Every structure is written in structure tokens, then in C-alpha cells.
């Protein structure tokens, strides 16, 4: 059976039951709304290149997208700058935590778009003129990836803006280096709102599938970004998407992905499918514990590893 045919009949509820039994990890406590997350929330979804949608129970439970938004911010920044974003942000993995107070040696650029420094900058590079304009542009762009109108959790956005001291520090550091053109507070405000967009597993899987399908949303059929932009974004997800756990992820799962502190993981298996798992308890690198196990299992069962020896 082809990999797509296998995915069409895959039992996501059985996988959900299996990973729900996995203990370990703890929910992120950086803001009250994340600290209050239900540790037993677990939703999974797959969206195939032909538009087939497969979901488990709780695939419609929403959380704030947090860092799973970063690939899509990068995509929008590449689109709106005509590729100039690639001059302003590095694309090398850091081997460090997502919020390390560190810029690229010699250039003062953020090391890559998947860590916070890089995402603060990509959110500042999108079109829009001012904070409200960029907020609107980002929400509209993310909604095109999702194929539906997305919303911001305003309480989460406020908490992120108020309590994100390390993000403020990173924005000020980029100002000092001359790599951030907007004010530090404006940069944090826009990034905080982007992190506060609400998604469920199904929505996030559609977004991942849009990248996996070269920038075309497989549900709406609408082109959201050019093929080259999708390829650039998925490449950087593969090398940097799981922070200082990216190497281990590439070996054990082998599918470009982005983790987030709300417990979401978005997957983009090029040409095949997008996927998402939401489960709040995290490991040391900020990756969902159950999400990792689910992705390892999906990758093995559906032969998704990009370096696997797939049947022709």
C-alpha cells in the first residue's frame, strides 16, 4: 500500500490512547494561561496532500499556537520582503534554548527564524507599517495557511507582552546591534499576539500540510506562498525546528517539525502530508512528551522519515 493510502486509514484514536498512557513532562509556566493547561489534553490530526483530513478525539481543542507559529511568520516575512529576510536572519541551528539571549557572532543577526530572536525579527519584517497593520497582516496570512479565520486569545497576548522579559531583552539586544528597525516594545507586542493565535490539532495540521504541499493549501486549493518560500521554510524547520533537540528529532522522527511551549507540534512531510499533535506536558527542550512519541510512531508506521528508503 502507498504511504498516502496507509495514512488514509491510520487509526489516530488508537495512537492517542497509546500516548495518553505515557507519563512525564510538565506544562510550561511562563504565563498563567499556559500554567493552567490541562495536562491530559491530547489531540492529533493528519491532512494529506489530496485534502483528506484525519482526526482523533479532541482534535478540535484549541490552545495558543506559541512557537509553532514561527515557520509561518518566516514564510510571511520571506514573501513580504521578496526574500530579503534571508539576509537579515541566519539559518544555522544554535544548539541552545529557544530564548537564549544570543545573536549571531560577527553579524548581530538572529541565528535562525525558529528561535525567539529570529521570530521577533520575522514578525517585524512582515508588511503592515505599524503594530496594528502587522498584527492584521499576520492574522490574515496565518488564516490563509489554515484555510479558515483564526482568532487571537487576547489574555494570552497581554500576558506574553507583559511577562516576556527575555523577549524584551532580545529585542533590545537587536536594537543595540542595529538589526531591528522597529521599537523593541512594538516588536514584542506583534510577536506576542502571533504566539497567542488559537489553533487546534486539525487547524495546525492544515497549516503544516500547506507547507508540505509547496505553499498550496490542500483544502482550499489556494496558493498561500510560492514553492521556493515553502521549501526554504521546511528546510529550516528540519534543521532548527526543535531547538537544541533538532538533531535528535531528525534522527528519531525524520520529519521537519516545529515544537511549541503550549504542547503543539506541527509536522510537514514534503509532498505527502501535514500533521499536528497537541499535548501540553513538555520535556527539557520544550517539546511535548506525548507529541514526540506520537510523531516517532507516526513516522515509523507511515514510513515518513525523509531519509528513509521508501518504496519507489
Q: Which residue is nearest to ligand GLU (CB)?
A: 67
Q: Please list every residue from 29 through 68 that binds ligand GLU, using CB under 6 A.
A: 66-67
The answer to whether the beta carbons of residues 68 and 200 sit under 8 Å apart is no
> Which set of grid coordinates corresponds to residue 36?
493552567
Q: Of 99 and 104, which has the nearer Cβ to ligand GLU?
A: 99
Q: Quote the least distance from Cβ 135 to ligand GLU, whole Å.
A: 15
CA dihedral (289, 150, 139, 250) in degrees, to 10, reads 20
> Of 116, 131, 110, 30, which Cα lies nearest the Cα of 69?
116
Q: Of 6 and 165, which has the nearer Cβ to ligand GLU?
A: 165
Q: Quote the least distance from Cβ 28 to ligand GLU, whole Å.
A: 8
Q: Please list every residue from 83 through 102 that binds ligand GLU, using CB under 6 A.
A: 98-99
Q: Per-residue x/- mask for ligand GLU, residues 174 to 203, rule CB under 6 A?
A: ---------------------x--------
- CB neighbour burial string for 47-57, b if at least 16 within 10 angstroms, e if fewer: bbbeeeebbbe
Strands (E), 22-121: 43-48, 53-55, 63-64
Q: Quote the least distance from Cβ 129 to ligand GLU, whole Å.
A: 24
**All residues at 6 or more sequence positions from 211 whose CB lies less than 8 Å from its CB, including other chains:** 71, 75, 145, 230, 233, 234, 237, 268, 274
Q: Quote the least distance from Cβ 29 to ligand GLU, whole Å.
A: 12
Q: Per-residue x/- mask for ligand GLU, residues 270 to 289, rule CB under 6 A?
A: ----------------x---
Backbone angles phi, psi at 281, to 5 degrees: -65, 130
H helix or E strand, kind and range, residue 258: strand 257-259
Total number of residues that touch ligand GLU (CB under 6 A)? 12
The reply to whether 244 sits near ligand GLU by the rule CB under 6 A is: no
Strands 273-278 and 43-48, how do they pair? antiparallel
The reply to whether 257 sits near ligand GLU by the rule CB under 6 A is: no
> Of 82, 55, 79, 109, which Cα lies nearest the Cα of 277?
55
Q: Quote the least distance from Cβ 69 to ligand GLU, whole Å.
A: 8
Q: Quote the least distance from Cβ 168 to ligand GLU, whole Å.
A: 11
Of 144-152, 159-167, 231-239, 300-308, the window that binds ligand GLU (rule: CB under 6 A) is 159-167
The answer to whether the beta carbons of residues 70 and 144 sit under 8 Å apart is no
Q: Among 164, 214, 245, 274, indicate the residue that binds ligand GLU (CB under 6 A).
A: 164
Binding site for ligand GLU (CB under 6 A): 66-67, 98-99, 116, 160, 164, 167, 195, 260-261, 286
Amino acid at each position: 500500500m502507498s504511504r498516502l493510502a496507509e495514512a488514509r486509514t491510520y487509526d489516530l484514536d488508537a495512537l492517542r490512547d497509546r500516548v495518553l498512557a505515557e507519563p512525564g513532562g510538565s506544562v510550561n509556566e511562563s504565563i498563567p494561561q499556559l500554567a493552567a493547561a490541562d495536562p491530559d489534553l491530547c489531540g492529533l490530526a493528519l491532512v494529506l496532500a489530496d485534502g483528506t483530513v484525519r482526526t482523533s478525539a479532541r482534535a478540535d481543542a484549541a490552545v495558543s499556537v506559541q512557537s509553532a507559529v514561527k515557520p509561518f511568520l518566516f514564510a510571511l516575512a520571506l514573501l513580504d520582503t521578496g526574500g530579503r529576510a534571508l539576509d537579515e536572519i541566519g539559518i544555522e541551528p544554535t544548539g541552545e534554548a529557544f530564548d537564549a539571549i544570543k545573536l549571531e557572532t560577527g553579524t548581530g543577526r538572529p541565528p535562525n527564524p525558529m528561535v525567539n530572536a529570529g521570530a521577533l525579527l520575522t514578525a517585524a519584517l512582515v508588511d503592515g507599517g505599524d503594530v496594528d497593520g502587522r498584527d492584521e497582516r499576520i492574522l490574515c496570512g496565518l488564516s490563509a495557511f489554515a484555510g479558515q479565520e483564526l482568532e487571537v486569545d487576547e489574555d494570552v497576548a497581554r500576558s506574553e507582552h507583559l511577562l516576556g522579559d527575555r523577549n524584551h531583552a532580545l529585542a533590545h539586544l537587536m536594537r543595540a546591534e542595529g538589526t531591528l528597525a522597529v521599537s523593541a516594545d512594538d516588536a514584542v507586542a506583534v510577536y506576542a499576539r502571533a504566539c497567542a493565535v488559537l489553533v487546534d490539532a486539525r487547524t495546525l495540521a492544515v497549516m503544516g500540510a500547506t507547507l508540505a504541499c509547496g505553499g498550496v493549501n490542500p483544502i482550499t486549493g489556494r496558493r498561500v506562498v510560492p514553492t521556493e518560500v515553502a521549501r526554504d521554510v521546511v528546510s529550516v524547520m528540519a534543521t532548527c525546528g526543535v531547538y537544541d533537540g533538532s538533531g535528535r528529532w531528525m534522527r528519531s522522527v525524520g520529519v521537519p517539525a516545529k515544537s511549541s511551549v503550549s504542547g503543539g507540534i506541527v509536522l510537514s512531510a514534503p509532498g505527502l502530508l501535514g500533521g499536528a499533535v497537541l499535548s501540553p506536558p513538555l520535556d527539557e527542550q520544550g517539546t511535548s512528551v506525548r507529541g514526540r512519541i506520537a510523531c516517532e510512531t507516526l513516522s515509523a508506521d507511515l514510513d515518513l522519515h525523509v531519509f528513509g528508503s521508501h518504496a519507489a
